[in-house]
């Protein structure tokens, strides 16, 4: 199996020809309702271990190995009856996609609203390491307002997926830079927040906390780093992990309130794992309207 990244101009029909899979199977494996709405950069799961490829005019085994990212020696091993010096148009080549020895361990996290449909949740749970119910929000006094996460936690634990408590600095309608600054300026409020997080991960049997703190004032960068360090020290003592969400920066000194206080080096050192929020660059979503009769 492999992950294929959609390129400009790609269609389900073209991708199905490339990998020798029916378009309906690719759509079903990826939960695609509208196969005409592919987005460049979108990842598709291709459930196959090899491809039967008909060589067109002018192509060589070397160019095929480059196109599919398969070492030339692997192509030769998979096609022992093929003369690499006499490849002709119309010849069939078996292209191996991946072998178990080449698979690398990967951890997968999924954010989910408590309102997620059960069918959608059950489709992705088998592939997840962590699930992060979205989200706990903060008050200016560092109290936590919980989501209705009990059902998600139960489903995750039943599927051997580790739930992570998500904490955001959302106040009211959106992320608040000012209210977060008030918490970071007070050691008492910081410690209250850490204590509240510990109480929640313990009582709800979370595996740890996922800190999705955004739009931090640039002048609060070091205060936030210090807070994360205190949080990690206290959670690690109790056996919990700390994950942080980072804005997708192109450089360490990238300007903008979304980026400046997210210190990649410090958070990479402090946290157990980091999540790069590439959805800040763009994402697709589906709005469903309820019908009332």
Active-site positions?
Answer: 214
Q: Residues of 62-97 as b/e, b for ≥16 C-beta within 10 angstroms?
A: eebbeebebeeeebeeebeebeeeebeeeeebebbb
Cα angle 198-147-226, degrees, rounded to a multiple of 5: 40
For residue 6, what are the contacts with CB-CB under 8 A and spacing of at least 6? 15, 38, 39, 40, 41, 42, 43, 44
Measure Cα distances from 286 to 30, 34, 38, 283 in Å.
15, 11, 13, 10
Cα angle 274-277-283, degrees, rounded to a multiple of 5: 155
Contact 144, 198 (CB under 8 A): no
**Residue 89 token pair:** 């148009």
Measured CA to CA, the distance from residue 145 to residue 196 in angstroms comes to 10
Strand partners for 111: 132
Measured CA to CA, the distance from residue 153 to residue 132 in angstroms comes to 9
Measured CA to CA, the distance from residue 89 to residue 267 in angstroms comes to 53
For residue 275, what are the contacts with CB-CB under 8 A and spacing of at least 6? 109, 210, 243, 244, 245, 246
């Amino acid at each position: 199996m492999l992950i294929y990244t959609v390129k400009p101009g790609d269609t389900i029909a073209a991708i199905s020809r490339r990998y020798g899979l029916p378009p309906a199977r690719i759509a079903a494996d990826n939960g695609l309702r509208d196969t005409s709405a592919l987005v460049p950069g979108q990842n598709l799961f291709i459930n196959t271990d090899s491809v039967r490829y008909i060589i067109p005019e002018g192509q060589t085994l070397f160019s095929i190995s480059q196109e599919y990212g398969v070492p030339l020696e692997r192509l030769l091993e998979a096609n022992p009856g093929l003369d690499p010096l006499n490849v002709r148009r119309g010849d069939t080549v078996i292209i191996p996609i991946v072998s178990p020895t080449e698979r690398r361990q990967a951890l997968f996290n999924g954010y989910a609203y408590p309102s997620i449909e059960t069918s959608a949740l059950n489709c992705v749970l088998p592939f997840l390491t962590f699930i992060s119910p979205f989200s706990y929000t903060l008050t200016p006094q560092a109290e936590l307002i919980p989501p209705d996460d009990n059902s998600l936690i139960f489903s995750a634990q039943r599927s051997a997926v580790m739930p992570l408590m998500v904490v955001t600095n959302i106040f009211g309608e959106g992320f608040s830079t000012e209210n977060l600054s008030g918490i970071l300026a007070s050691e008492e409020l910081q410690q209250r927040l850490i204590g509240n997080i510990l109480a929640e991960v313990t009582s709800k049997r979370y595996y740890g906390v996922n800190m999705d703190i955004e739009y931090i004032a640039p002048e609060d960068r070091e205060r936030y780093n210090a807070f994360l360090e205190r949080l990690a020290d206290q959670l690690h003592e109790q056996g919990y992990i700390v994950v942080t969400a980072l804005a997708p920066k192109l450089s360490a000194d990238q300007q903008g309130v979304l980026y400046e206080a997210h210190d990649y080096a410090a958070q990479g050192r402090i946290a157990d794992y980091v999540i790069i929020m590439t959805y800040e660059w763009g994402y697709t979503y589906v709005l469903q309207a309820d019908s009332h009769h």
